[in-house]
Structure 1
Amino acid sequence: MHRGKGMKFVGDSRISANRKPNIPKDYSEYPGKTEAFWPNFLLKEWMVGAVFLVGYLCLTIAHPSPLERIADPTDTAYIPLPDWYFLFLYQLLKYTYASGPYNAIGALVIPGLAFGALLLAPFLDRGPERSPAKRPFAVGFMLLAIAGVFYLTWESAAHHDWEASKKQGAIVEGADIDKDSDGYKLMDKNGCISCHGAELTGGAGAPSLIDTGLSPEEISKIAVKGQGAMPAGMFKGSDKELATLAEFVSGLSAK
């Protein structure tokens, strides 16, 4: 067989004995069209990223995120609201065809089809055209998805009871409680803390005992006869202990 017959030489695997410095190629012949990835292009990306990072940090310092009270899983009356980028899914689960017995459709099937189509987009639209006018199907599905997300987000935000949500999520200021006092020990002994909380700021089934505005006599009456969700006979103690507990609760005030 002659040398080279039936074979193609596609490269040379030999390594040069003289190591050349890693100098970016000269792209001066193509001004404005291409440039070296390192350091030219990457430096620009880092600069833009740094500007946005500093901007976000300034916004975070100037406008801290509004915190609500500690989450209480037993509070079934609380109106939940996810972050803005999940509002469209939250709204979708309100419709009859995507909630209740069809909850799996709204939580898995519909979002799965939408995100699955997004993953398959590079395979479904393989044309070389870049103009939106020449890619009607891809552009049409994109506009349909944007319109659907925008509409569902707007519907969720427009029909949410913001005032009720603000009141339910408000942080209740605590009080300077002397937990070694006789009044606090009596509340602990009679199970008051299990409902009203260790800081007496209330919970899912009991109101706050801070700044109630009630007199010791009114508090004594509630402790014996109950009120609202609190049944009668919760307090088990002497009249002297009842007076001590009532004076303690009546004197609680916010910091």
Structure 2
Amino acid sequence: MQRGKGMKFVGDSRVPASGRKPNIPKDYSEYPGKTEAFFPNFLLKEWLVGAVFLVGYLCLTAAHPSPLERLADPTDSGYIPLPDWYFLFLYQLLKYEFVSGDYVVIGIVIIPALSFGALLLAPWLDRGPERRASRRPIASGMMLLAVLAVVYLTWEAVENHDWEAAAEQGEMLDDEAAELAEQVDTEHEGYQIYSDQGCIACHGDQLQGSGAAGPSLFDTQYDVDTIKNIAVEGIGEMPPGLFEGTDEELQILAEYIASGGGAQEGESGEDGASAEDAAGEETTEESDEE
């Protein structure tokens, strides 16, 4: 046989193989029990699984409503915020001395950047073909370290948080207290003094209080003289010397707080006027009878 005659290089892409079949995927029916039609079989299963999870979430929502708190008060400096559970590890991290205060940039920028950067670089740091975790020490070690750190910091955040104080500061006002808070006269001169002296930071913008930071003042049982003494000398966790106004301003502020933010003052004024009118009518009737 001479060279070049009767030979065919089927491995050469330049020579088409005779009788080559078109590249058509086999029908799923050729693999019974291993494949199924996308519509409607597979799609129906996906919808059923999704419906089960949706019903489960709705049941959890009905059984455990969202833990809503009262309306946000931007003047409440004593409010202790708490992030969602998936950010608790960062919340706890910022409590440590070496990542807070003057070093807060380390906690909020450098450490998170290094952590997420290590995750992004993991495919290039460990390029081995092995799929077993025991044979990929670099990637497995980085992942194990990250998981342990997140679990530990989250646990510490939950253990060290004052849940009773958090529930108290976020407790909603009842109907009676909300009605009294709405009646607070914010145009009163006493309210301006109340705001200028910084009382609003602990006792709220409507004298409703702010949980652990300060009690409500619109239903206080103290009289004017007692309130003046507390404003100057303090009481409980309230330190002395917070009031820095004049004696006249102190008197106005004490009368304003004692009247429940001006709400009871108007009512008492109306009652007093009606009482005087009634007394006047009785006097007139007695004089007419005589």
Fold agreement, TM-score > 0.5: yes
Q: Name whichever of 205-214 and 164-173 sits farther off.
A: 205-214
Q: Does 1:221 align with 2:236?
A: no
**Code of the aligned partner of 2:188:** K
Other-structure match for 2:179? 176
- The answer (yes or no) to whether the contact 1:68–1:169 under 8 Å persists in 2 is yes
Other-structure match for 2:264? 248
**Code of the aligned partner of 2:109:** L
Alignment RMSD, CA only? 4.1
After the TM superposition, which residues 1-255 of structure 1 pair with which residues of structure 2 at under 5 Å, given as runs?
Answer: 26-31=27-32, 33-173=34-174, 174-177=177-180, 188-192=187-191, 195=200, 199-202=206-209, 207-214=215-222, 218=223, 220-221=224-225, 227=231, 228=234, 229=242, 232-234=247-249, 236=252, 248=264
- The answer (yes or no) to whether the contact 1:224–1:233 under 8 Å persists in 2 is no
Distance 1:121 1:178 in 2: 56
Once the two structures are TM-superposed, the CA of residue 226 in structure 1 deviates from its matched residue by 6.5
- The answer (yes or no) to whether the contact 2:180–2:218 under 8 Å persists in 1 is no
Distance 2:47 2:75 in 1: 47
Q: Name whichever of 194-203 and 141-150 sits farther off.
A: 194-203
* 1:172 to 1:27, Cα distance in 2 relative to 1, 3 A: same
- The answer (yes or no) to whether the contact 1:78–1:168 under 8 Å persists in 2 is yes
Distance 2:134 2:181 in 1: 73
Once the two structures are TM-superposed, the CA of residue 236 in structure 1 deviates from its matched residue by 4.7
Deviations 1:161-217 (A, max 9, x none): 22222222222332434978xxx65x7322327546675423598742344334xxx
**Structure 2: which 5+ residue stretches go unaligned?**
1-11, 17-24, 235-241, 269-290
Distance 2:181 2:143 in 1: 61
**Structure 1: which 5+ residue stretches go unaligned?**
10-23
Distance 2:56 2:260 in 1: 56
Distance 1:122 1:83 in 2: 30
3-state secondary structure, aligned to 1:65? coil
- Equivalenced residues, count: 223
- The answer (yes or no) to whether the contact 2:220–2:260 under 8 Å persists in 1 is no
Once the two structures are TM-superposed, the CA of residue 151 in structure 1 deviates from its matched residue by 0.5
Structure having the higher Rg = 2
Deviations 1:69-103 (A, max 9, x none): 22233333222221110011111112222222221
Q: How much identity, in percent, do the aligned residues show?
A: 56
Tell me which protein shows more helix as a share of its residues.
2
* 1:32 to 1:99, Cα distance in 2 relative to 1, 3 A: farther
* 1:170 to 1:191, Cα distance in 2 relative to 1, 3 A: same
3-state secondary structure, aligned to 2:102? helix
Once the two structures are TM-superposed, the CA of residue 128 in structure 1 deviates from its matched residue by 3.9
3-state secondary structure, aligned to 1:129? coil
* 1:35 to 1:125, Cα distance in 2 relative to 1, 3 A: farther
3-state secondary structure, aligned to 1:191? helix
**Code of the aligned partner of 1:80:** P
Distance 2:259 2:130 in 1: 84
**Code of the aligned partner of 1:50:** A
Distance 1:37 1:120 in 2: 37
* 1:110 to 1:27, Cα distance in 2 relative to 1, 3 A: same
Deviations 1:202-235 (A, max 9, x none): 3598742344334xxx1x3356666345555335
3-state secondary structure, aligned to 1:164? helix
